[in-house]
Amino acid sequence: MTTTAPRLRPSLKGKGPGLEFERRLWDAGAEVVVGLDEVGRGAWAGPLTVGAAVVPRDRRVYKIRDSKMLTEPEREALFDRVASWCVSWAVGHATPEECDTLGMSAAQRLAAARALEGLGLQPDGVLLDGKWDFVGGAIRIVKGDQKSLSIAAASILAKVTRDRMMKEAAPEFPAYNFEGNKGYPCPVHKAALQALGPSSIHRRSWVFMDHLMWNGLARYERPEDQLSIPFED
């Protein structure tokens, strides 16, 4: 079902991403251009998620923005429109266990590989948000989710999918308020961790777990790249 697109707040007008980077690849002969974006890297619980989106050349969906610029209701209202507009899209996840055992860098590569595999298409070019190429051979774009329509679409698809997963898990772990914080740091989440220790969907190798009460769950040896992970995406 296609929902009505949200009315753009004045602060978002004139800040839409475009197709400049996609057109460069199309003009160079690329047929399948994929935008990639990840969410969940800075979360304390839940999966690390990568969205992949292939957008059409000749049709536009307006009001798409970087998912971080949108409210949760705005993202939800846009999700079906974006999903039905894309030529193809997919979301790949790395589980909390994979984040712990592999480390975040390898987990991010794994989630991206799963997202690309889920497209069912062979990419000719990949556009990636940020400075680090966790795909291999991708075009890195700083603030790409604000500049590339493909990446912005991927960011909405990834964010909404992951948020829905955390809300579905929330009733199993009511103390942590996953329906509100989606596994990210916040005072309620921190207080629950200090009182109860980690749940089965927490990343248990992180620095902030070092001084928590433990409740019988296995403790992971922390991979080196876990030491410098930011708390927010």
- What tens digit of pLDDT does each residue of 48-81 get? 999 999 999 988 777 788 888 898 999 999 999 9
pLDDT of residue 133: 95
Domain identity same for 24 and 70:
yes
Domain identity same for 142 and 174:
no
pLDDT of residue 216: 54
Specify the DSSP element, H or E, that contains 169. helix 149-169
Domain identity same for 176 and 195:
yes
Share of the chain above pLDDT 70, in %: 82
Q: Which of 5, 9, 20 is nearest to 144 (CA)?
A: 20
pLDDT of residue 1: 42
Domain membership of residue 229 (yes or no) is no
Domain membership of residue 208 (yes or no) is yes
pLDDT of residue 61: 76
Q: Find tokens 């390898």 and name the residue.
A: 106
Q: What is the CA radius of gyration of the chain?
A: 18
CATH of the domain at 103: 3.30.420.10
Domain membership of residue 6 (yes or no) is no
- What is the rounded average pLDDT for all residues in the chain? 87
| pLDDT for residue 127 is more than 70 | yes
Domain identity same for 47 and 147:
yes
Output b/e per residue, 143-174; b: 16+ Cβ within 10 A. ebbbbbbbbbbbbbbbbbbbbebbeebbeebe
Residue-range definition of the domain harbouring residue 175: 170-224
Domain membership of residue 233 (yes or no) is no
Domain identity same for 91 and 179:
no
- Do 43 and 180 touch, CB atoms closer than 8 A? no
Q: What is the mean pLDDT of residues 153-178?
A: 97
Share of the chain above pLDDT 90, in %: 69
C-alpha 170/C-alpha 96 separation (Å) is 15
More confident residue, 195 or 163: 163
pLDDT of residue 202: 94
pLDDT of residue 222: 55
Domain identity same for 155 and 57:
yes
Domain identity same for 112 and 28:
yes
3-state secondary structure of 88: strand
Q: How many helices (H) and strands (E) does the chain have?
A: 8, 5
- Do 120 and 7 touch, CB atoms closer than 8 A? no
Out of 22-26, 30-34, 57-61, 169-173, pick the least confident: 57-61
| pLDDT for residue 94 is more than 80 | yes
Domain membership of residue 87 (yes or no) is yes
Total number of domains constituting the chain: 2
Domain identity same for 138 and 205:
no
- Note the pLDDT tens digit of each residue in 197-233: 889 999 988 766 766 655 555 555 555 555 444 434 5
pLDDT of residue 2: 46
